């Protein structure tokens, strides 16, 4: 029963698509109409302000993973309400490489010339109240606003290529492409995952990198580049 529950949960998460850079006047039904052409939807959501304006991000959940995959391929960089949508899997580690065992090594960040660590931005200890975000430390939130995630990278994409691709946009205290490691048999096949993360020193540099590199073709694959935490 436990394995069956986990299997259903993973199947659900593999059909979850996140959408960012939505226009302010985007209504949930508009988002549903845009994605429904690729297949039936389980549910959809657009984050709204108290004024009724869209916060700029949302998500859709398909019944079938292949429909979600098609929607991502077509709608990433799609112009919608004078905005270019940024569409990707909510959990890229569960897609494309899902046939690999899920026990992965915790990614180790590679540090550049700037002294910068996650410990410098501690999470607040207070319990979030009604309407509050889990991130209660302003410094921690500032750090998360500089984190850019990259997915759909071609197989064999090395950390060096990753650094060369993003470094022209500004200083990068951290960057990494996680290594796959099989803890079941203990072997390390030296395979890099098809997603990575980069932390910019300045948020404006991250914004420029996202605008330029989202949809950029590398090794026959169109990169999907976006903020790791658009809600922060």
Mean pLDDT of the residues in the chain: 80
Q: What is the pLDDT of residues 166-175, one digit of tens each?
A: 999 999 999 9
The pLDDT tens digits for 54-75 are: 999 999 999 999 999 999 999 9
**What is the model's pLDDT at position 188?**
58
Q: State yes or no: pLDDT of 115 exceeds 70.
A: no
Domains of the chain: 2-90 (3.30.70.330), 110-227 (3.30.70.330)
107 pLDDT exceeds 80?
no
Instruction: Summarize pLDDT for 4-43 with one digit per residue, the tens.
Output: 777 888 888 999 999 999 999 999 999 999 999 999 999 9
Average pLDDT over residues 116-120: 34
pLDDT at 181: 64
Q: Tell me the DSSP string of the chain.
A: -HHHHHHHHHHHHTTEEEEES--TT--HHHHHHHHHTTS-EEEEEEEE-TTS-EEEEEEEEESSHHHHHHHHHHHTT-EETTEE-EEEES-GGGSSSTTS-S--PPP-PEE-SS---GGGSPPP-SPP-TT--S---HHHHHHHTTEEEEE-PPTT--HHHHHHHHGGGS--SEEE-PEE--TTT-----EE-SEEEEE-SSHHHHHHHHHHHTT-EETTEE-EEEES-TT-
pLDDT exceeds cutoff 70 at 212: yes
Give mean pLDDT, residues 97-109.
39
The pLDDT of residue 38 is: 97
Q: Per-residue pLDDT tens for 136-158?
A: 466 778 888 999 999 999 887 87
Question: Which of the residue ranges 12-16, 40-44, 116-120, 158-162 has the most confident prediction, judged by mean pLDDT?
Answer: 40-44
- pLDDT of 194 > 90? The answer is no
pLDDT at 141: 80
């Amino acid at each position: 029963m436990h394995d069956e529950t986990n299997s259903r949960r993973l199947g659900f998460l593999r059909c979850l698509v996140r959408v960012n850079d939505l226009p302010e006047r985007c209504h949930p039904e508009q988002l549903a109409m845009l994605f429904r052409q690729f297949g039936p939807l389980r549910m959809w959501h657009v984050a709204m302000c108290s004024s009724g304006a869209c916060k700029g991000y949302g998500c859709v959940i398909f019944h079938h993973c292949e429909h979600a995959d098609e929607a991502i391929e077509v709608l990433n960089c799609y112009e919608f309400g004078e905005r270019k949508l940024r569409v990707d899997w909510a959990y890229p580690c569960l897609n494309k490489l899902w046939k690999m065992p899920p026990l992965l090594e915790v990614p180790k960040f590679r540090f550049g010339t700037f002294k910068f660590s996650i410990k410098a931005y501690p999470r607040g200890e207070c319990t979030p109240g009604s309407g509050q975000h889990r991130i209660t430390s302003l410094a921690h939130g500032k750090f998360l606003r500089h984190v850019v995630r990259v997915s759909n990278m071609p197989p064999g994409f090395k950390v060096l290529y990753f650094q060369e691709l993003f470094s022209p946009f500004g200083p990068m205290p951290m960057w990494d492409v996680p290594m796959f490691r099989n803890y079941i048999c203990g072997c390390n096949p030296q395979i890099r995952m098809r997603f990575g993360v980069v932390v910019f020193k300045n948020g404006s540099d991250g914004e420029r990198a996202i605008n330029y590199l989202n949809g950029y073709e590398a090794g026959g694959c169109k990169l999907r580049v976006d903020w790791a935490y658009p809600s922060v």
